[in-house]
Amino acid sequence: MAKPQFMYLLEQLRKAAERRPMPWQPARQWPGSSRCDLRIALGAGIVSIACEDDDEHTLHACYKARLTTREGLLVDEVVAHQFEKDYYPMIRELYHQARVAAFDLPRLVDGMQADLESGAVRDLPEDNFNESDIPF
């Protein structure tokens, strides 16, 4: 279990995000997955948060929050599973807030809506689909 100070910081981040956008940034693309870690720098530390499962609605969904120094040294961490009802909902909510903020969801959707209404179509990025990735 994480130290109370780190859990308090996570709760304060969650509450702050309800009042104003927080500057979360995507940190790492997972190979073969569309998900990434999200992180924010505050003071002398960095908070990173990630969902450890592509399907976060399964019973084995797991969120991990980490506190590191700016040099990347681990200070504290918490791992929250769905069956842990005490702090799982808060960390799950924080993850979703961070993802919305990191990708500026309102701006993204507004731009897509504008294209839809105007009839504009954009070129798709190159698909890195590799036939050797097919599991059968």
DSSP-derived secondary structure for 21-42: ----EEEEEPTT-S-EEEEEEE
3-state SS assignment for residue 80: strand
Full-model pTM: 0.79
On the question of pLDDT at 108 being above 70, the answer is yes
pLDDT of residue 66 exceeding 90: yes
Residue 73: closest CA among 33, 112, 46? 46
pLDDT at res. 3: 92
Answer yes or no: is pLDDT of 93 > 80: yes
Which tokens hold the place of 12? 């304060």
